[in-house]
Chain A
Amino acid sequence: MPRRDDIESILVIGSGPIVIGQACEFDYSGTQGCKALRAEGYRVVLVNSNPATIMTDPEFAHATYIEPLTPESIAAIVEKERPDALLPTLGGQTALNATVALAEAGVLDRFGVRLIGAGIDAIRRAEDRRQFAATMRGAGLALPASGFAHSLDEATAVAREIGFPVIVRPSFVLGGGGSGLAATEDELKAVAGRGLAESPISEILVEQSVAGWKEFELEVMRDGADNAVVICSIENVDPMGVHTGDSITVAPQQTLTDREYQRMRDAALACIRAVGVDTGGSNIQFAVNPRDGRQVVIEMNPRVSRSSALASKATGFPIAKIAALLAVGYRLDEIRNDITGETLAAFEPTLDYVVVKIPRFAFEKFPQADPRLTTVMKSVGEVMAVGRTFTEALGKAVRSLERPDLEAPAGDPALDALGTATERRVLDVEALLGAGNSVDEVAAASAIDPWFVDQIALVADTAEALRGKDLGDLTAEDLLEAKRRGLSDVRIARLTGSNADRVRARRAELGVEAVFKTVDTCAGEFEARTPYYYSTYEEESEVRPAARPRIVILGAGPNRIGQGIEFDYACVHAAFALRDAGYETVMVNCNPETVSTDYDTSDRLYFEPLAAEDVLAVCRAERPEGVIVQLGGQTPLKLAHTLEGEGFAVLGTSPASIDLAEDRGKFATLLRSLGIPAPPHGEAASVDEARRIADEIGYPVLVRPSYVLGGRAMEIVYGPDELEGFVRTAAAAGPDHPVLIDRFLEGAIEIDVDAVSDGRETFVGAVMEHIEEAGVHSGDSTCVIPPPTLSEDDMDRAEEIARALAAALGVRGLLNVQMAVKDERVWVLEANPRSSRTVPFVSKVTGVPLAKVAALVMAGRTLAELRAGGLVPPREVYRTLAHTAVKAAVLPFGRFPGQDTVLGPEMKSTGEVMGIDERLGPAMAKALTAVGAGLPSGGTAFVSVANRDKRAIVFPAKRLAELGFTVLATRGTAAVLARAGVRVTPVRKRSEGGRDIVDLIRAGRVDIVINTPFGRGPRTDGSEIRTAAAAAGIPCVTTLPGALAALQGIEAIRDGLPAPRPLQEYQAPPPPPEQLRLMEPEPEPARAAGEAR
């Protein structure tokens, strides 16, 4: 079956902001899908609210809508664009749910939009746990015993029949939201209550618990001719009971015999056929009883998924791209395998290596959250590593995490404790084995398959054999064994009382060096065309000589709070720009969710940890002109000195300049010499010193430890007692770890500036104004381009400061400066000589591709040249835009019940969305809708603010009342409002007893909460209110400026939002690619780059 000609335009729905359970894997999938559909000549209409995605770059679709992913908003786009078809399977659970809603609302029928890939019935059969169970039973497949419930009583009845323990799983929810194990009726009440609340249809599945069974996933693809193949098998090291997203997983599966594996494969194919996914990929999860091999189906996702992204990276088989092609009519045997170029997509990849994925958590950001791993997904990112053996891959994955505290076993864990999964569990397994417990004991205590435990025992034995030895006494064979068992140089150094540099040198001396092998989909049976490599300790290397000069781009590693998809975005842009400019681009990264680790994003891909030993090995193999360290966030920046020390050129801003900006002391001196104001600050190594410095500086102060290890990092402190508490507990200050103290600029407007400099001149991408005051981390605040309230003078001054800093720091490439405006002055909070979280936002809004510009500048181009080529506009454009864009942050509080939802200087958000319109009000309303905190157009508003905000709240509260809202307020706030003539109903605080505001929120009687914090700690009234609001899914505004912005949004909604417009209309068209290609690299870019420094 060839390409379908009965459709011309296709709507693709993205997955929205990065949230726990849905991360940038859907940017990767969506980008592949859009690219494939475009290349086939279809008109692609894309909607996604997330501006930090590659897929929302205007060149990936014909019409790109950065709009909320609500049914209403997508319906407006459908009405305008009239697509022939909708491909719902690339945007995760979000896109599926939106599709179901659109179908149910009759939108698809009304506009004649056909679903391709998966039809509505198939989606329902897979997503509705009731239909799924029936479908599986119909296909002869076993599931755990289960029943459905719509109330607590029903749930109890079902559980009694099945027998405890049971697991509760809501339908149509993502990342295990609302699920949980219950061993008793009491536990069931709590878990079922949560599940019912989370399910959009108030239905839960109560199922026999098979916790402790082995968990597997198969990635299956099917085409329109009913050809079906398994792309990859994945085995979870953590058994059932830990969400697969939070489990350490391995591909291919390691512990099933062929007989059992084929039975699972048969079941997977029967499943995809029974569910009726017409074309595309599906993920099917199984549990296997380790005692007798009984297999049950757990669930299926009729779409690309996090696991399919992992499977694509693990095998080299681009599932999303193929899914898109299958959706438009192709068959598997009509599509080429890009990796080999000679074979077809109709086959099953086979691996001659082992892939290990480890999730990355952020519990340090949520100290009140439960750190146990359960059926509710909690991780914020993941790493993948490839090795020839499990131990090698495990070791590489561990060092990819960039968690020094999780690099080696520590402490003295108890055997019993292994029954509870935590992020440390594999290390505890190793520690217990090292301490003499047997593999069987450890396997029994953890329910981890003995094979994995045995593998970890090999690591423990290898480490023990090195402990206390002298590095100089180790033979080549010893070191080879250690490297093959995945021990990092850092760990070998620690075991032998040496340091990593010396270990590396010793290895080089003995010839124990990594070689590179190819991920080729076929275990060597066919020649691979695509240079997709991983390092391993073997004999033969497969790195091919290159024809053109190479530039290495270091990626950002795992997604975490503070460093996410935005940095990958910049790396990908650099790869595109430098490839167009004639270089061979070499990407190094270990995050399987990203576009950067797609094999065709760069010319060569190295799936490697971003640790010194691994990056240096890549550089030695590639001999690049230079290495780009400033686009992947803080991760590669840390490697700048090591690279330079080993003789590799760091492109762009020099390591010395990076140091100057990162070292607070040196940076403060620089600011002083430039006459730029900065908040006074000091460093304290003791409580007394801290008090003295704070007195000198004046309260409030912002305190943070200079060295953070899994604790809370930054706090605003209003008095000496609080200060003492912080220094004593959180920071554990000492001479080695001083506490940093800054004067806190209260009530200041925070601004962010992104700029790019070529060493001669500096182009300012944008000055952004934050809605929240300084004190709310820039990553969590709502931010607007063009600045809505800053004066021209403020903007001039901000630009001037950015230029002065770029010049003084010798920036070549990107510079991000955070500033605050207070008392008619612009202060500098910090400067980062690298890409920033806001680069994609600025690029989307202004149409100037900052990261591409920066990459070309690093390769030796000047801004003047790029301006002549049309890539950079003649002058700054952000102030004079005809539109306004709002970036809002998405917070994961829903995942961490009990965690206070108040914003502070410590970043907590996982992702971001953008609202764009001609006016601020609608842009704000859209941004907040996209965040999931859709503003109400009427109803009940609850207002309770800190004393300092009482006067300022009067105007917004009054306006709400005028708009017809019922205004509720706690006593103090109510009194002030009543005095000002606002119609207000007082309500009780929780601490006052009786039916209180928390009850009202829980009962769904409140539509918006405005609550600015006073007092700290988890048990305060404010905290309970905010937590209840988060649980109820209603907007909760915690700052005054936020309240004003929300008000504008509410007014815009009441006026009716304007019709959506695609980004292509907002942006000036990007320069055609020909223009980029004209700029050939200079004859000797190596020397040029060297001289530039």
Chain B
Amino acid sequence: MPAMTRGPEALLVLEDGTALRGRSFGAPGEAFGEAVFNTGMSGYQEVLTDPSYAGQVVTMTAPHQGNYGVNREDPESPRIQVSGFAVREASHRASSWRADRTLPEELADAGVVAIEGIDTRRLTLRLRTAGAMRCAISTDDLDPRSLAERTRTHPGMEGADLARHVSTKEPYEAAALVGPATPDRRPILRVAAYDFGIKRNILRRLAAHGIEATVYPAQTPAAEVLAGDYDGVFLSNGPGDPAATTYGIESAGALLGKVPVFGICLGHQLMARALGLSTYKLKFGHRGANQPVLNTDTGRVEITSHNHGFAVDPSASTSARPAHVESGFGPVTLTHWNLNDETLEGLRCNDIPAFSVQYHPEAAPGPHDASYLFDRFRALMEAHA
């Protein structure tokens, strides 16, 4: 048999005992985390390096991964963030003029445990029907029973506060990472960006809209940011349970009404909680690049990039798609809805300059349909300058 496709044996188990045998194509060892599936057909490098996947074992539903290798431009953070990676077939050759090396090389060097050759559709269907579960991949313990048992001793995602672990330790200027804000959009605006696990492309999109960002650690007190006299504050995406990310909720609450705020993903959930709305865990979340979101302002449908396991509860309202909810900061318009499952995807405060979306207008990976939200952020700041 061709040696190159055959790594050492590896085993993936779910906490319910589901076991899939395959071959290792990353580092040897064991990985534990919440098993989630992503249905995007391209963009594995962005997924692997997205800090929102911290603490998760990711399986891609698309069978071939690694085809175009890994390159220097596409990481969304300085390192691989997933705890483990599970695929049907990994490519051991990188085919792209931009590729630096192969995916298996990258994973092995990063010490990330990865398994290939498994029936990822079976895994996906199990997660869809039974809901998100704890999971392990091991190259050491190939006994499903013992591995499953140990899996069950690990903590789950509910109640997990992970943002502060993936956040920057020190504030820094985005320009150092993604270059200066484009001078095409004037005036250049200054924004404080809370890093709960921020993706690099958010910084690029801000810069492309003439917005200069200073990135702050997740636990930075609001007062410190307010003292910087920024045109606006951005609340980033990130991993974990929003309810457990209490510092983020507090900061959001202290900032709302004082400065224009834009939140994405975890940032949206934190802002919603600060407004007094609640959040809940979805059965298996949304992860992929094909989710239809209706923008109730325009009546148009956007195809959007998603990565979230929690969602904002549009309150006790009984109507299917309530237009508004009340909050401690006045009425809130519910602006975006997921057409697949009618979950809330975005909101806007009526009385104060703040809005947020659950999905990823910065894409990377995924379509650019929602890129206009960065324009909207700019417009909001200009209006409140």
Contact = CB atoms under 8 A, between A and B. Distances in A.
Interface of A: 225-227, 229-230, 233, 252-259, 261-262, 265-266, 290-293, 331-333, 342-344, 346-354, 388-390, 439, 449-451, 454, 458, 461-462, 465, 477-478, 481, 517, 522-527, 538-540, 542
Nearest to B201: A259
A878 to B, nearest CB: 52
B39 A523 contact: yes
A676 B339 CA distance: 69
B339 A343 contact: yes
What are the 10 A-B residue pairs with the smallest beta carbon separation, nearest first?
A: A258-B43, A461-B2, A258-B365, A451-B95, A523-B61, A540-B122, A348-B290, A258-B42, A524-B124, A352-B61
Given A343-B340, A348-B367, 17 more contacts: A227-B300, A254-B64, A255-B67, A259-B364, A261-B42, A262-B367, A292-B97, A333-B301, A348-B289, A350-B288, A350-B289, A465-B1, A522-B290, A523-B124, A524-B39, A525-B39, A542-B125
A254 B67 contact: yes
Contacts of A458: 2, 5
Nearest to A227: B301
Given A293-B97, A350-B41, A539 B119 contact: yes
Contacts of B152: none
Nearest to A482: B1
Given A256-B42, A293-B97, A462 B2 contact: yes
Contact of A522 (B39, B40, B97): B39
A1089 B124 CA distance: 41
Contacts of B288: 350, 523, 525
Nearest to B298: A225
5 contacts: A257-B68, A258-B45, A347-B290, A349-B290, A350-B40
A258 B364 contact: yes
B68 A256 contact: yes
A894 B341 CA distance: 53
Given A258-B43, A258-B364, A388-B88, A539 B20 contact: yes
Contacts of B61: 350, 352, 523-525
B195 interface: no
B363 interface: yes
A266 B303 CA distance: 12
Find the residue from B40, B71, B73, B128 having the highest chain A CB count within 10 A: B128
Given A333-B292, A389-B89, A450-B93, A257 B71 contact: yes
A279 B305 CA distance: 24
For chain B, what secondary structure do more than half of its interface residues adopt (helix, strand, loop), or is it mixed? loop
B144 to A, nearest CB: 13
A462 B64 CA distance: 18
Given A343-B340, A454-B93, A478-B1, A352 B62 contact: yes
B5 A388 contact: no
Nearest to A439: B93
Interface residues of B, number: 55
Contacts of A261: 42
A542 B124 CA distance: 13
Nearest to A265: B367
Given A388-B63, A538-B119, A333 B294 contact: yes
Contacts of B93: 439, 450-451, 454
A347 B291 contact: yes
A454 B2 CA distance: 12
B62 A390 contact: no
Contact of B300 (A226, A259, A293): A226
Contacts of A342: 340
Contacts of A347: 290-292, 303, 339-340
B63 A389 contact: yes
B178 to A, nearest CB: 14
A253 B96 CA distance: 13
A651 B73 CA distance: 61
A458 B92 CA distance: 11
A618 B324 CA distance: 53
Nearest to A515: B119
B91 interface: yes
A342 B41 CA distance: 22
A262 B363 contact: yes
Nearest to B120: A352
A266 B67 CA distance: 22
B121 interface: yes
Contacts of B291: 347
Interface in B336-350: 339-340
B25 to A, nearest CB: 14
Interface centre among A229, A262, A351, A481 (most CB of B within 10 A): A262
Given A347-B290, A517-B121, A523-B39, A291 B97 contact: yes
Given A293-B97, A353-B63, A389-B88, A524 B128 contact: yes
B187 interface: no
Nearest to B71: A257
Contact of A332 (B42, B73, B122, B301): B301
Nearest to B44: A258
Contacts of B363: 262
Interface in B62-78: 62-64, 67-68, 71, 73-74
B20 A354 contact: no
A465 B3 CA distance: 11
A257 B98 contact: yes
Nearest to B363: A262
B366 interface: yes
Nearest to B365: A258
Given A258-B366, A344-B339, A390-B64, A540 B125 contact: yes
A259 B75 CA distance: 11
A535 to B, nearest CB: 13
Nearest to A259: B74
A257 B71 CA distance: 10
A255 B68 contact: yes
B339 A346 contact: yes
Interface string B19-56: 01000000000000000010111110110000000000
A350 B121 contact: no
Contacts of B92: 454
A478 B367 CA distance: 41
Contacts of A525: 37, 39, 61, 124, 128, 288, 340
A227 B67 CA distance: 31
Contacts of B366: 258, 262
A454 B62 CA distance: 18
B112 to A, nearest CB: 19
A1029 B62 CA distance: 52
A262 B368 contact: yes
Nearest to A454: B93
Given A517-B121, A524-B121, A225 B64 contact: no
B299 interface: yes
A126 to B, nearest CB: 23
Q: Kindly name the residue among A259, A332, A349, A390 whose own CB sees the greatest number of chain B CB atoms within 10 A.
A: A259
A253 B68 CA distance: 11
A229 B92 CA distance: 32
Contacts of B62: 252, 350-352, 523
